[in-house]
Amino acid sequence: MQQTRDDRSLGELFGDLTRSLSTLIRQEFELARTEMTARAGRLSRGAATVGVGGALVYAAFLGAMAVVILGLVELGVAPWLAALVVTIIVAAIGGLLIATGRDALKKADLVPRRTIETVREDADWAKERFQ
């Protein structure tokens, strides 16, 4: 294998290496920012979906609660007991929806894994060059 000779001085080589590392670090930060922005966007969409779903469920259940309570009262159940039964059922359904949304938010991975991996590779490369 034939080696090529580089006529640049040590100062020029070091300057090139410094500029290359500077560029590499800026690009890594840009990659991290892009990756985090994408992940945050997915997280915010999930949170917005939970919020809108909760508001719609709340509105629907307000109407449904009134209908069911009035229906139970017509069947002879005391108004306070009818309201209590309906409230317990609605609270259970709401709790399930909240738990489902919370689990979806917990699964969101905010670690910029690609960026971490490329930074490790860059660090290994730099260590090799300085040995």
44-103 tens-digit pLDDT: 888 888 899 989 988 887 888 899 899 999 999 999 999 999 889 888 988 998 998 888
3-state secondary structure 53-76: HHHHHHHHHHHHHHHHHHHHHHCC
Domain ranges of the chain: 11-130
% of the chain beyond a pLDDT of 90: 21
Contacts of 32 (CB under 8 A, 6+ apart): 112, 115
Contacts of 24 (CB under 8 A, 6+ apart): 122
| Distance separating alpha carbons of residues 102 and 59, to the nearest angstrom | 21
26, two tokens: 């800026």
Q: What is the mean pLDDT of residues 99-111?
A: 81
- Whether this prediction's pTM lies above 0.85 is answered by no
